[in-house]
Amino acid sequence: MNMEKKKNNPIYLGFASQKGGVGKSSLAEVLASILYYEKNISLAVVDCDGTQESFYKLRERDRDLIESSPELGKELHERLSRYGKKSYHIIRSKPERAVSDVMKYFRKMKTAPQLIIFDFPGHALTSAMMDLSITMDYIISPIEADPQSLASSFAYAKTIRDLGVGFEGSRIQDFFLLWNKINRSASTMVIDLFSQNAEEQGLPIFDTRIYNSVRFSRELAQGGVKGVFRCSYLPPAPALRPQTGVDEWVMEVMEKLNLKTENGVWNH
């Protein structure tokens, strides 16, 4: 697709997987918070994972905790003031109406955000999900070093890639696989084998790998403002990020999607 033609339109980024529990929603949540609060990337999120609704429920848990703890609410408000913005918007939707719900959201906004992140349901091989997939500009699909789940993930990636090339109405520019929950002490034989296989089939994989860590489960209730990793109001605490691969991956996403920080300023 012509990038010049697309440059003034929001980028549609989908997070999809063929297997539950691979960390799809957690990665999408972390990416959204870092891009929005730290990198000054204007964005909105569409939660169309009707069975889990991870984004929507995370926001609800965050809000409920803040409302029940005035001290925490004050601390969070002070932190948000540093970023100079309100929280990013979450659209609760379903696959079959996700794009139309985004259009309704656009009509209420003075300017459209630079990026729209779609959190897909856990299984993407339904007709509604295939239809939604080809309306994305990019799709990120987390994968684990499990041969059975890798086979289905590769099949989905190839299907979307082929549809993107052959279907006139498709927006697809690229499909990226992402190694997630990597055990540093385990053998990389499966990862190396499938990475080579993906390269041979023309399926892009992020250079960055995300490593397994209990830190990803630390929400506001467990870590507070200074020790949180997953939060819809804050980015992950910088002290928790080393050795996870998150910061390197975010930079790679920005490069591959050609995301530009607003006013050239990053918050730290």
pLDDT, tens digit, for every residue of 122-157?
775 678 888 899 899 999 999 998 887 788 888 888
Q: Which two tokens stand for residue 108?
A: 């209420």
Q: What are the residues whose beta carbons fall under 8 Å from the beta carbon of 115, sequence distance 6 or more?
A: 10, 11, 13, 35, 41, 42, 43, 44, 257, 259
Encode pLDDT of 90-131 as tens digits: 999 999 999 999 999 999 988 889 999 999 987 756 788 888
Model confidence pTM above 0.75: yes
Asked if pLDDT for residue 223 goes beyond 60, the answer is yes
Q: Strand 43-47 to strand 89-92: parallel, antiparallel, or no bridges (unpaired)?
A: parallel
Order across the sheet with 89-92: list the strands: 89-92, 43-47, 115-119, 11-15, 138-143, 174-179
Average of per-residue pLDDT across 70-78 = 91
C-alpha 61/C-alpha 57 separation (Å) is: 6
What pLDDT, on a 0 to 100 scale, did the predictor assign at position 266? 44
Backbone angles phi, psi at 174, to 5 degrees: -165, 155
Supply the pLDDT for residue 125: 64
Separation of alpha carbons 39 and 264, rounded Å: 9
What are the structural domains of the chain? Answer: 9-254 (3.40.50.300)
Mean model confidence pLDDT for the chain: 89
CB 67 within 8 A of CB 112: no
Task: State yes or no: pLDDT of 250 exceeds 90.
Answer: yes
Give bridge partners of residue 12 from the DSSP assignment. 116
Q: Is the pLDDT of residue 168 over 80?
A: no
Which DSSP category does 205 fall into?
Answer: B
Model pLDDT, residue 8: 58
Question: How many residues belong to the chain?
Answer: 268
User: What are 193's two structure tokens?
Assistant: 């084998």
Task: Give me the phi and psi of 200, to 5 degrees please.
Answer: -65, -30
Closest CA to 175 of 15, 51, 59: 15
- Residue pair 104/140 in contact (Cβ under 8 Å)? The answer is no
The closest of 83, 39, 82, 86 to 266, measured between CA atoms, is: 39
**What is residue 152's predicted lDDT score, i.e. its pLDDT?**
84
Residue 262 has pLDDT above 80, yes or no: no
- pLDDT tens digits for 181-205? 999 888 889 999 999 999 999 999 9
Joined together, the tokens standing for residue 72 give 């925490």
